Structure 1
Amino acid sequence: MSNADSTTQGFADRVQSFVTENKRAILIGTALAVAAGGVALYASASSPPKSPGDKKDRRKKSVKPRPNDVESGSVIEEIPVENQPNFGVLTKEQLETMPSEERVKLAAALKKKGNDHYQKDSFEQAAEFYTRAINVSPTEEPVYYSNRGACYMNMKPPQFDLIIEDCDKAIALNKDYVKAINRRANALEALDRLEEALRDYTTATILDGFQNEKAAQAVERVLKKLSSAKAAEIIKTRDPHLPAYTFISAYFSAFRTRPLPPLPEEPTIADNALISALNALQVADYTHSWSFVMGALEEGLSNDTLKAEALNLRGTFKFLINDVKGAEEDLLESIKLIPSFAQSWVKIASVYMEQGNPERTFEAFEEAIKHNPNDPDIYYHRGQVHFIMNDFKQAAANYNKSTLLDDQFVFSHIQLAVAQYKEGQIANSMATFRKTLKAFPERSEPPNYYGELLLDQGRFQDAIDKFDRAIELEKTKTRQNVLPMVNKGLALFQWKQDIGAAEKCCQEALEIDPECEAAVATLAQLSLQQSKIDTAVELFKRQLELARSEPELANTLTYMYASIAQKTFLENYPERKQAFSAMAQAMVP
């Protein structure tokens, strides 16, 4: 397991804290929904304003209300002919001669008959009476359409297209009609029209003032289905490409430098191409390194040692572009050629962990130790796996073992300090970091990660001082790691709510490294804080291009679709913008 995995996980934790612990203009409904679990379809208890003649329904106590109940209302005056089979079936001429007041009474009576049939599960008959009410009423009443939609929902099979058609009419007449909005969302979700369903569930959630837990769960459920499906589609159609420089650099820096493999007396073009690939790797020229190793394997290498080395490197690049299966094949072939190749064992362990198979992961580490019991990289990466599995005690033991074998690898010291911190050994962690700062005064990583722990403790000025030191050290490099800049921006926001300063840090980071996913993600969240939803959506789209794996894509898509749903709500309900902002502020912890 690489340092990139730990770095990415740490950043995700920090962004999550940033979202949940500070002022959150990110779709409040999404903030609620992300914390909730999915449930079955539901209908909101909210209802539209009643017509002048509507009163509360007088139901028999023996009748159990249905989940998708219809709107009720008593008749103003009983119509003597209501028990006749053709009750409410009138010609156009009869309707034209009937006084408007009588038509209102007749429509209400027809609605009551529809309600009676609905409570008896006679949905076809109920729908017929609601249709008659629609035809008789002198004005279009949204409740008649919504109730008929409820009938279509409960028919076997449900008539989803008709539900949507009736709810469209009801909502057009009363756009605050939460029950109709929910019902239409149910139908849209059933038809797999997920973006439209998300729009409606989000609208219903906001109109309900975020008080309806089922509505929040519905948002979460549809977001998950929509984002997962879209992420799978993107992965399937995406051309392979390397992730951002920051991620690749973190991955390769998690392995100690090894000497170049010896060449035969008369090396081939392929042999030299492999050496070029490894040299390019040392100077962080990852694109050329990938190209050279691909060419070396295509041409054919002189011996098994060189071929195993090339397969190891190509497998690594495949892993980085998320071709996990291809990475597994190359690394296994590398081990087959040279069974004692420790780095290939470590990397195949990462592949197994990515595949969700910790048993095989630890078996790979045991095989590596069997061949190379004194290789410090094995213990470091096994510590990383324990860390990701939240077994911080075992993680610390492995980091210690790695350090005992080679105390010149900075990440063993850093990860040990972080593992101690996670275990609750704060004093030991701080002491380990202070020792690391002294032992590696020219490395930017110790002050950067130390700053993160200080930030977690609310020691803002101390954290920013450490981030500034890391930034200063990075400026001496040809290619800078800009994560300290992003961290500084988060610290300024958490400390002083200074969005402008936080944005400036992220923008400076992107000027140096345009593919820094952490900077893009943080800017997107900051845009949501300011209700700059269009900007946030564009940043989320940019983040999609940088995301490496399907889970990363799904997470970004969740935020993007939630933001789009919020934007749509504010476009459809501009008069509610101020009230929405007030609700959002009221929910700030």
Structure 2
Amino acid sequence: MASETSPGIVDRVQRFVEEHKTAVLIGTGVAVALGGAAYYASTSGSDRDKKKKSPKPPKKRKSVKDADGPILEERKPKAEQVPDEEEAVAPTPEALAAMSLEERTTLAASYKSKGNAAYSGKKFAVAARLYTLAIDVSPKPEPVYYSNRAACYVNMTPPKHDLVVQDCDEALKLDPNYVKALNRRAMALEGLHRYIDALRDFTAATILNKFTDQNAAQSVERVLKKLTGEKSAEILLKREPRLPSFTFISAYFAAFRARPLPDVGDAPTTGDSTLLLALQALAAEDYPHAVSFVNEALAQDISSEAHRAEALNLRGTFKFLTGDVDGAKADLQESIRLAPAFTQSLVKVASVHMEQGDPTKAFECFDEAIRQNPDDPDIYYHRGQVLFIMSEFADAAENYTKSTELDDGFVFSHIQLAVAQYKGGNLANSMATFRRTLKAFPTRSEPQNYYGELLLDQQRFEDAVEKFDRAVELEKLKSPPNVLPLVNKGLALYQWKQDVGAAERCCAEALRLDPECEAAVATLAQLSLQQGKIERAVEMFARQAELARSEPELASALTYQYASAAQLEFMKNYPSMAAELRSMAQNMA
């Protein structure tokens, strides 16, 4: 639910990403076209050739398209202009040797012109042969000949992607800035499912065209989606289930009120005793042992259905936290079958349904829980969380209020009420609720941290940092502490003073205390981008992918990782453009 981490920290890191995403320049919507000029490929010459020539535009043109858009813009040729294959006769080696360089250049241009006419007539095999002749007779290699022949291979049925790549390789050896060849090679690489290489080329084309090419930018998005989808599936298939960060787990369990240990009597079974060990480890925040013990308990002789339901509830919770949503649902539903009045299992199944995008089923679980025990305050708190996620802030606030009426001592109900009031536009009520909460819970860090987030949202930077500092001090009394206030402080210092160093130190300290804090890793990755430390950003995004709990989180991290890596590759391949690229990033940010 929304409170499993600080309700603002994930949103605020994402907002930080969105506000500064132009530092990545490509990917996840970053490579946005800044002008209206779409890019059209042409076989009339390379980009440098086109600058030298200024032919008068014909009155009426028809174009044949390839992957880049209209590839040729020629007048419709007369019938005799479209050569037959037998017309394409190569000169003998002796005849070629007798020609001057000028004559060979003229002949090559003639073959190219005939190739253009054949291409316009959709005689792609004929055109490819003519461009081959142009390549063979030309006294010096011309990139446009290779690029034009690649365009023919693109349009054949089926497309000859391997030959497209080979020809574009040759064209780009001769002219690394040949954007048309980059785009054609990228399309062929995409057709070969070589998505990383395709992303490299589409990224280079986008940057070389100064982000004015909407087609290339859209291609970046398309290939990134394919790439991250493929890689996410591979990673999730091979990944062993593992627990997320201590910060995440502790925040999740803190969202449920403490319950007494089950009464196992004077002569507990082995399974009962192991279950108690699991619940005691949970209370001590020793999560690895809690997992181990509950798995053992369920393999042993638990004495009653109620105790077994308790064990299934705990194991299902840990499965949910490791991303095993189907396994979590199975355990929690079995827990409910054994103990229909066990409302916590019903509430947790509701969260599983939300994870699967089914709010209707989630609300059915809440309704059943209320039928079983209408006085359980946890039901209303978590139903409020679902409503909060759905942006139904007034209804969420009503549920939080009901939760506090049933149990006034649960700090998160008060905090979430204040946040819902704020999101609903009731600023005065929200601030008043927070002030009351701060007074009622002076030793808890959470009200300080969450209040600081709302102050930061109002750009009251100094007040926000003060609250985060207070939250950090209170967390130091715990072992281990919750590190989210440190991450929040880092973000606040960056937004307030543009103090990248201070922000990095806060996040580094958070990672020292909790090496798997995803929010700290994500923030450091973005800060690295801001400073042009692309290699470090790629490393941090890779680390974020390792920590991702769900497929959407993994796909998001991989998107930024591969987008940043493609930019890094561009800077290596085009070192003279590196400074200009950084300048563009600063101007766009």
1:49 alignment partner, SS class = helix
Q: Equivalents in 1 of 2:351, 2:388: separation in Å? A: 13
Deviation, structure 1 residue 52: 10
1:30 aligned to which of 27, 37, 49: 27
Q: Equivalents in 2 of 1:370, 1:201: separation in Å? A: 57
Residue in 2 aligned with 1:20?
Answer: 18
Q: TM-score, normalised by structure 1?
A: 0.93
Structure 2 contact 255–412 (Cα < 8 Å) conserved: yes
Counterpart of 2:169, as a letter, is D
2:471 equivalent to 1:473? no
2:117 equivalent to 1:116? yes
C-alpha offsets along residues 251-270 of structure 1, whole Å, 9 cap, x if unaligned? 00000001111113310121
1:30 alignment partner, SS class = coil
Residue in 2 aligned with 1:330?
Answer: 331
Deviation, structure 1 residue 54: 5.8
Pick closer, same or farther for the CA change 1:442–1:546 going to 2, 3 Å. same
Q: Equivalents in 2 of 1:261, 1:83: separation in Å? A: 89
Counterpart of 1:428, as a letter, is N
Deviation, structure 1 residue 556: 0.6
1:299 alignment partner, SS class = coil
Q: Equivalents in 2 of 1:417, 1:283: separation in Å? A: 29
When the two structures are aligned, how many residues end up with a matched partner?
575
Residue in 1 aligned with 2:439?
Answer: 438
Structure 2 contact 24–30 (Cα < 8 Å) conserved: no
Structure 2 contact 39–214 (Cα < 8 Å) conserved: no
Residue in 2 aligned with 1:490?
Answer: 491
Counterpart of 1:404, as a letter, is E
Residue in 1 aligned with 2:368?
Answer: 367
2:580 alignment partner, SS class = helix
Q: Equivalents in 2 of 1:173, 1:512: separation in Å? A: 53
Residue in 2 aligned with 1:501?
Answer: 502
- Which stretch has the larger CA shift, 536-545 or 392-401? 536-545
Pick closer, same or farther for the CA change 1:73–1:112 going to 2, 3 Å. farther
Structure 1 contact 167–181 (Cα < 8 Å) conserved: yes
Q: Equivalents in 2 of 1:578, 1:222: separation in Å? A: 26
Structure 2 contact 63–70 (Cα < 8 Å) conserved: no
Deviation, structure 1 residue 359: 1.1
Pick closer, same or farther for the CA change 1:112–1:52 going to 2, 3 Å. farther
Structure 1 contact 223–558 (Cα < 8 Å) conserved: yes
Residue in 2 aligned with 1:151?
Answer: 152
1:28 alignment partner, SS class = coil
2:217 equivalent to 1:219? no
Structure 1 contact 88–106 (Cα < 8 Å) conserved: no
Q: Equivalents in 2 of 1:35, 1:212: separation in Å? A: 9
C-alpha offsets along residues 227-263 of structure 1, whole Å, 9 cap, x if unaligned? 1211111111111111110110010000000111111
C-alpha offsets along residues 270-293 of structure 1, whole Å, 9 cap, x if unaligned? 111111111111111111111111
- Which stretch has the larger CA shift, 84-93 or 296-305? 84-93
Deviation, structure 1 residue 63: 2.6
Deviation, structure 1 residue 398: 0.9
Deviation, structure 1 residue 20: 3.1
Pick closer, same or farther for the CA change 1:402–1:141 going to 2, 3 Å. same
C-alpha offsets along residues 403-431 of structure 1, whole Å, 9 cap, x if unaligned? 11111111111111111111111111111
Structure 1 contact 25–531 (Cα < 8 Å) conserved: no
Q: Equivalents in 1 of 2:424, 2:84: separation in Å? A: 75
Residue in 2 aligned with 1:190?
Answer: 191
1:301-450 to 2 correspondence within 5 Å?
Answer: 301-450=302-451
Residue in 2 aligned with 1:66?
Answer: 65
Deviation, structure 1 residue 2: 5.7
Structure 2 contact 453–488 (Cα < 8 Å) conserved: yes
Residue in 2 aligned with 1:238?
Answer: 239
Q: Equivalents in 2 of 1:119, 1:362: separation in Å? A: 61
Deviation, structure 1 residue 25: 6.2
Deviation, structure 1 residue 508: 1.1
- Which stretch has the larger CA shift, 559-568 or 506-515? 506-515
Q: Equivalents in 2 of 1:520, 1:281: separation in Å? A: 26
Q: Equivalents in 2 of 1:50, 1:35: separation in Å? A: 27
1:516-535 to 2 correspondence within 5 Å?
Answer: 516-535=517-536
Pick closer, same or farther for the CA change 1:499–1:14 going to 2, 3 Å. same
Q: Equivalents in 1 of 2:396, 2:506: separation in Å? A: 33
Counterpart of 1:13, as a letter, is D
2:48 equivalent to 1:49? yes
Q: Equivalents in 2 of 1:53, 1:510: separation in Å? A: 56
Q: Equivalents in 2 of 1:417, 1:486: separation in Å? A: 21
Q: Equivalents in 1 of 2:28, 2:58: separation in Å? A: 38
Q: Equivalents in 2 of 1:11, 1:163: separation in Å? A: 47
Pick closer, same or farther for the CA change 1:481–1:411 going to 2, 3 Å. same
Q: Which ranges in structure 1 are unaligned for 5 or more consecutive residues?
A: 75-79
1:241-260 to 2 correspondence within 5 Å?
Answer: 241-260=242-261
C-alpha offsets along residues 477-536 of structure 1, whole Å, 9 cap, x if unaligned? 111001101100000101111101100111111111111111111111111111111111
CA RMSD of aligned residues (A): 2.3
Deviation, structure 1 residue 132: 1.0
1:50 alignment partner, SS class = helix
1:66 alignment partner, SS class = strand
Residue in 1 aligned with 2:78?
Answer: none
Residue in 2 aligned with 1:77?
Answer: none
Counterpart of 1:116, as a letter, is A
Residue in 2 aligned with 1:209?
Answer: 210
2:247 alignment partner, SS class = helix
Deviation, structure 1 residue 55: 5.7
Residue in 2 aligned with 1:170?
Answer: 171
Structure 1 contact 308–334 (Cα < 8 Å) conserved: yes
2:133 equivalent to 1:136? no
Q: Equivalents in 2 of 1:52, 1:476: separation in Å? A: 68
Counterpart of 1:212, as a letter, is D
Q: Equivalents in 2 of 1:284, 1:2: separation in Å? A: 21
Structure 2 contact 199–223 (Cα < 8 Å) conserved: yes
Structure 1 contact 318–327 (Cα < 8 Å) conserved: yes
Q: Equivalents in 2 of 1:479, 1:62: separation in Å? A: 71
Q: Equivalents in 2 of 1:42, 1:552: separation in Å? A: 33
2:48 alignment partner, SS class = coil
Structure 2 contact 8–453 (Cα < 8 Å) conserved: no
Counterpart of 1:151, as a letter, is C
Structure 2 contact 271–300 (Cα < 8 Å) conserved: yes
Pick closer, same or farther for the CA change 1:245–1:35 going to 2, 3 Å. farther
2:257 alignment partner, SS class = coil
Structure 2 contact 23–586 (Cα < 8 Å) conserved: no
Q: Equivalents in 2 of 1:12, 1:118: separation in Å? A: 53
